[in-house]
Amino acid sequence: MKFMNLSLPFDKDTRIAVTGGTGFIGSYLLRILLSQGCTNIKAIKRKSSSFDLLGDDAHKVHWVEGDLLDTEVVWDFTTDVDILFHCAATVSFNPSKKEQLYRVNVGGTAELCNAALENGVKKLVHCSSISALGKELKGKPITEKTEWKEFPGISDYALSKHHSELEVWRASAEGLNVTIVNPSLVMGGGFWNSGTAALFTQINRKLPFYPSGIIGFVDVRDVAEMLILCADHQFNEKRFISSASNFSYREMLKLIASHLEKPAPFHRINKLMITTLPPILKFLRSLGAKVPPLSKPMLIASAQETLYDASAFIKATGFSYRPIEETVRDTAIQFQKSQESNTRFGILPIN
């Protein structure tokens, strides 16, 4: 088990602002910052946002209610800020969400960067995604230096994250100190109906299908810690992949199933099913069946065999990742507790 021994690259009274603080990664970031004694933190939230993932720590943060697309709100939010952590984003593989993906991920990031430049923010740490990285030949790991190339079947989500990064690099060229972190699939306790946490819900319902691809996985606490460490000015104008291990989806779902004591998925999703399965599942959901909301872009993405090399940050800092096997075990424990207490979320301890 990894015990957090984090050395802050800034003073504890540094003026910190966080977007996406009520979300999956952002909530762990806030909890870790608070656990390290940071006392001057503000975060932006929508009126409908829940504090569930923050628990008793929510009241220790100064909350600003508003939207990243509201220029006036973003201007005020980035005033008197030293370090800005940008974790807010829309994540969806639903083709109908394309406009929202670009509006929030690209437009919201542009608004934030513009305001940060005007208000003299000293450092922006942008939480991006491996989806925004380039592609390599099968079997060759992707690194921070892999060239970006669009390819057939690329998702609107990936394109929106790539273009949001272009806004960050544009702000960098205009004088803003930035670092980008690209997490792989982020594992950990969260809302059980969204993100990777939903895998535990689907396995608990005896999910029969598994994708054929391979991808990287990382603990949400490791991503949060990396974001904090990347606030160090020695990492200005750099990007780092955040990924602990490469797993096939079949291995990961089998691991989750073993900890939940449920049968592992046994039907591989083939090329034909990528086209036929989404409309069938959509029809079943219309009848009230509890089946996963799989879209064709999501299935195309999950069929790719993509390896990631995250050694750059390890070499630069000596950082160590939590074993994903432990992350899955601990998340399964939280899921089972949530089932017993009938709650819709679970939170991993940060120590």
* CATH T-level assignment (fold) for domain 16-189+217-246+307-329: Rossmann fold (3.40.50)
In degrees to the nearest 10, what's the CA dihedral of 142, 146, 149, 155?
A: 40
- β pairing state of 16-19 and 41-45: parallel
Q: Is the pLDDT of residue 112 over 90?
A: yes
Residue 157 identity: Y
Q: What is the mean pLDDT of residues 323-335?
A: 98
Q: Where are the beta strands (DSSP E) in 101-230?
A: 123-127, 178-183, 185-187, 209-210, 214-219
Coil, strand or helix: which one is 309?
Answer: coil
Tell which wins on pLDDT, 270 or 313.
313
Tell which wins on pLDDT, 210 or 300.
210
Instruction: Supply the pLDDT for residue 3.
Output: 52
Q: What is the mean pLDDT of residues 168-177?
A: 98
Instruction: Supply the pLDDT for residue 1.
Output: 60
Q: What is the mean pLDDT of residues 130-139?
A: 84
pLDDT in tens, 233-266: 999 999 999 999 999 999 999 999 999 999 999 9
Residue-wise DSSP of 251-294: HHHHHHHHHHT-PPP-EE--HHHHHHHHHHHHHHHHTT------
Instruction: Supply the pLDDT for residue 139.
Output: 79
Instruction: Supply the pLDDT for residue 124.
Output: 98
CB 241 within 8 A of CB 313: yes
Cα angle vertex 295, ends 285, 218, to 5°?
110
Q: Per-domain residue ranges for the chain?
A: 16-189+217-246+307-329
Q: Is the pLDDT of residue 173 over 80?
A: yes
pLDDT in tens, 11-31: 999 999 999 999 999 999 999
**What is the percentage of the chain residues whose pLDDT exceeds 90?**
80
Coil, strand or helix: which one is 84?
Answer: strand
Q: Where are the beta strands (DSSP E) in the chain?
A: 16-19, 41-45, 62-65, 83-86, 123-127, 178-183, 185-187, 209-210, 214-219, 238-242, 245-248, 267-268
Select from 184, 189, 133, 188 the least CA-distant residue to 162. 133
Instruction: Supply the pLDDT for residue 4.
Output: 61
The winner for highest mean pLDDT among 106-115, 201-210, 261-270, 289-298 is 106-115
Tell me how far apart the alpha carbons of residues 173 and 160 are, in angstroms, rounded to a whole number.
Answer: 20
Instruction: Supply the pLDDT for residue 295.
Output: 75
Tell me how far apart the alpha carbons of residues 16 and 82 are, in angstroms, rounded to a whole number.
Answer: 6
Helical H segments across 52-155, by residue range = 71-77, 98-101, 109-119
Task: Read off the tokens for 205.
Answer: 């319902």
Tell which wins on pLDDT, 100 or 151.
100
Residue 208 identity: P
Distances in Å between the Cα of 329 and the Cα atoms of 184, 334, 351 are 19, 9, 16
Mean pLDDT (the chain, rounded): 93
What residue has token string 């689907």? Answer: 202
Instruction: Supply the pLDDT for residue 2.
Output: 62
Q: Is the pLDDT of residue 7 over 60?
A: yes
Tell which wins on pLDDT, 152 or 91.
91
Sign of CA dihedral 274, 344, 182, 327: negative
